[in-house]
Structure 1
């Protein structure tokens, strides 16, 4: 596909996405006093609409290799683009996603995110912020919600395999739940930090469940290799230093 066609498709995609995001964010906030289910319904509709416009405007095809059970465990996703973050309310019934604190300051969207039950991550907040984050995570697990963590901490271009952020080890140790790693190659068609998107196939590959209680080095190594399973083989020849 030529760049001109991809540009036109991307413009149409962003117009549709911004409009629907505004409608769903406002709807999620307005309906909260009436029904929490309605709020979650708006969030799920937002994720479904995003999948539809990715399919019919951008030309994306989504493949899931393996099963993602909707159970109270810690999911760790490869983070190549905004695609997989937006998809979470559709992949799971009511996921508790760890999200940067700054995102909650976005007008309306931030309010909807708090009401929905996303978990703020304040890297500069010290011990108090860490305790609040862990308490929120434990509360979500207690009512059966899966936790979702993007352990690289930021969007990573396809083919890159940076080490996991140190926060993963603390969350893994203190929550004491199994980890299900998920590789994603969204960066090919939905590249990070670029608003022009391309047609293509986006794959989720679910890795082997990693039990709780492993030594830090072993847990990090297994998660790192699993979430990078869709990268070119040379990306996994040597794990970069943290």
Structure 2
């Protein structure tokens, strides 16, 4: 979303950052202007999922960017349009957990997209009630991290079963999460206090699945919410000998 003349405009724009050049450039625009959507990368593709459109309508559409061909293309619509689901990619599939409808009611669904077949299916489950939560792949499971709750759920796609993990200290939403060294790291977000006020957070916490425990890693330099949190893998340069 961009702001022009005091009015908010929903944008098609895509910006690409070059690590090599240390600069941004304008990329190929999306087919549909949207905001509050979810994006996820898989191989050479970026998927842009749902969100709100130019008329504030809830979008069920999804489009895919091919970084090799530098084009966006429309893909199959998700079965149920939702806002702020937890999204993860694993084994040629995209998984959307929960989210909320246009009336801000939690949606108790898992929606699964098969990438090579361009098809969706959905499953209803009472285990899901997350909104504004991230999801990460941790080992063979997908972990849904909070979302207006302390609860951490680990989902096994092979068995279609959930396991409850140790709760977070606070009821969190709008936070970031990433995996590094087989541990889960959670950054910032917003937390619900005991008297139901909302506070911005600078927390930096680590979950160890082997011990099922949380530990604080200190504080972030600034309070953050609705931010991205990623692990960057450094690949050493190969040297050749003649």
| TM-score in terms of structure 2 length | 0.28
State which structure, 1 or 2, has the greater radius of gyration over its C-alpha atoms.
Answer: 2
TM-score computed with the length of structure 1 as normaliser: 0.28
From the two aligned structures, give the one with the greater helix fraction. Answer: 1
Relative contact order (C-alpha < 8 Å, sep 6+): which is higher? 1
More strand by proportion, 1 or 2? 2
